[in-house]
Amino acid sequence: MMSNTCSISTLFPMCFKKEKMKNKLLILLIFAFGLPTAHCQRDFFKDKKQFTLSDTLRGMLSPARTCFDVTFYDLQIRVDIPKRSIAGFNEMTFQAVHAFDSLQLDLFENMKIDKIIFENKSLKFKRLHNTFWVYFLKTVPQKTVGKLKIEYHGTPIIAKNAPWDGGFTWKKDAAGKPWFAVSCEGIGASLWWPNKDHLSDEPDSMSISVSVPNDLKAVCNGNLRQISEDTFGYKKYQWFVSYPINNYNVTLNVADYHHFDDTYTAKDGSKLNLDYYVLKENAAKAASQFQQTKLMLACYEKYLGKYPFWRDGYALVETPYLGMEHQSAIAYGNQYMRGYLGGMIPADMNWDYIIVHESGHEYWGNAVSCKDHTDMWIHEGFTTYLESLYVEETMSYQDALRYLANQKMMIEGLQPLIGPADVNFSPTSDIYFKGTWMIHTLRHAIGNDKLFFDMFKALYHQFAYKTTTTQEVIQFISTYLKKDYAPFFEQYLYQVKMPILQYKLKKTWQGLEVSYRWETDVKGFEMPIRFGQASAYKTVSATNEWSKTVIKGLKAANFAVATELFYIETKKID
């Protein structure tokens, strides 16, 4: 059993006593401590992915991370554009959950730590890969509130294919002025600033100050509090985030931006400020394209409630990459086109995918955040389903079904949606498309839209401004609906195969006799299904055991299963 004092020297004894043995011992002990957790989740992943020490250091909540809780970050940096480098500090306010004499933080190894200061004294630190441990001069007692300042500098990595691989993206506008931005979901915010880089710990608020040349603007999250003169032809932009924020949402966008604004009026009459930062050559396009924002906000307000970061406002910021859900400062790079760079949505639909999808993340992903990357379906599945609700609200239910059918073709179905925890797991795109089809299936399995949407909204409000897990979400849904949905989610989240509806057809004097059952990996699976005449489906309860029903006046040739409403396979047995 671990003692109440959380320290690296306790967790990994003697690792730092002899410099020659340091790395070898630490690697062996961390693997011994962390990798059993990584591989015990699901056998499916055991031989599919080899997790590295760096994955474990980043993904595992060791005692050196859980011994403190971050409450505030004060990030202040200066950008050297010719060198593509940054320098500054992050002052982290923390509260000690347990007494400790060392703790773990994260910063990519290509970034240099200059000094770490606590109570006006420099502290020693040790680095390993993209992680570092800070050693305090004395034990920090439980419940202590303290400030740790990390001074650093370096050249952040350049993204090869932003936003998917992460890093800085550097371009120029039409006038030849610098235009750059960062994206770091998955890979980690620690690629450009030192922090506790784990989804489970969000600061309650944050200050972001960026110094850039006078002819440029720095746009970050939250509200712009102050622009002040800095030295050598620089200006400092100070932004403040007044809500909890997960680390990968902290953003930096720099360009000679044109700024304009608008207002959204909620149902209760309150006003939300809408800020738009775009390249000057795109000002006219943006003024037209961004009119969609208010229609989108009204749709999401209907289903989930008012925009969640009301005090901080809503912003779209033009970026040199496609997009990202940066909280209250959404990265927009869809080139003012319909759909996803002109495609991915049905040809007769005309709405901007990046505005609709990334704004949906303000609810699912930013307000409701998962604790571990293995649960990222919570971010992407619910947000992707909001796309279909947007279509349903602005067009029709049948159009939403067409939109979902289009997404269904993109499901790969090669691995479960839930993977190993504690290793910074990177899921596939199925968390979007299979995730949304799972929610679509749940809606029609419930068979009562009012109940489904009441649950949908209640689920959001239960976990808004919090971090959560898959099991907490499942438990809430089951409790709210007064039915155990664990087998349903076990099949859709943890198994590769979708449920298979086996059925037999037999003509009788009463009508068409249908025998049916579910073939699933999960025992005790039960879910209603609709079948029969496509224009008038019959709803029946189905389990892993054979059941029968008779549909009068239906010919076998006209028998259909509602696969447009359920993510399932069908198998006729002769």
Q: What is the per-residue pLDDT across 93-150, written as a single tens digit (0 to 9) for each?
A: 999 999 999 999 999 999 999 999 999 999 999 999 999 999 999 999 999 999 999 9
Backbone angles phi, psi at 478, to 5 degrees: -60, -45
Q: Would the pLDDT of 21 be above 50?
A: no
Q: Which CATH superfamily is domain 64-283+308-332 in?
A: tricorn interacting facor f3 domain (2.60.40.1730)
The helix/strand/coil state of 247 is helix
Task: Give the model's confidence band at 25: pLDDT under 50 very low, under 70 low, under 90 confident, else very high.
Answer: very low
Among 27-41, 336-350, 418-432, where is mean pLDDT lowest?
Answer: 27-41
Q: Would the pLDDT of 11 be above 90?
A: no
Mean confidence (pLDDT) of the chain: 92
> Who's near 24: CB < 8 A, 6+ residues apart?
none
Sheet holding 271-279, edge to edge: 257-265, 271-279, 314-318, 330-332, 323-324
Neighbours of 535 (CB within 10 A): 7
* Locus of tokens 């703790």: 103
Q: Would the pLDDT of 9 be above 60?
A: no
Name the residue ranges covered by the structural domains of the chain.
8-60, 64-283+308-332, 284-307+333-496, 500-572
Task: Provide mean pLDDT across the span 523-540.
Answer: 96
Give me the percent of the chain exceeding a pLDDT of 70. 91
Give the span between the Cα atoms of 232 and 173, in whole angstroms: 23
Task: Give the model's confidence band at 424: pLDDT under 50 very low, under 70 low, under 90 confident, else very high.
Answer: confident
E-only strand ranges, 25-177: 68-80, 85-96, 100-106, 112-118, 121-122, 124-128, 131-140, 145-154, 167-172
Strands 100-106 and 131-140: antiparallel
Q: Would the pLDDT of 488 be above 50?
A: yes
Sheet holding 68-80, edge to edge: 121-122, 112-118, 145-154, 85-96, 68-80, 205-213, 234-241, 223-229
- Cis peptide leading into residue 163 (ω within 30°): yes
Task: Provide mean pLDDT across the span 288-292.
Answer: 98
Task: Give the model's confidence band at 49: pLDDT under 50 very low, under 70 low, under 90 confident, else very high.
Answer: low
Query: What pLDDT score was predicted for residue 3?
Result: 35
Q: Would the pLDDT of 173 be above 90?
A: yes
Task: Provide mean pLDDT across the span 159-172.
Answer: 96
What is the pTM (predicted TM-score) of this model? 0.92
Backbone angles phi, psi at 249, to 5 degrees: -85, -15
The helix/strand/coil state of 186 is coil
Query: What pLDDT score was predicted for residue 5?
Result: 39
Domain 284-307+333-496 in CATH 1.10.10.60? The answer is no
Q: Write out the H or E segment, with its range, that includes residue 183.
A: strand 178-183
Task: Provide mean pLDDT across the span 329-348.
Answer: 97
Query: What pLDDT score was predicted for residue 549?
Result: 98
* Locus of tokens 């699901």: 42
CB 100 within 8 A of CB 7: yes
Give the span between the Cα atoms of 10 and 21, in whole angstroms: 17
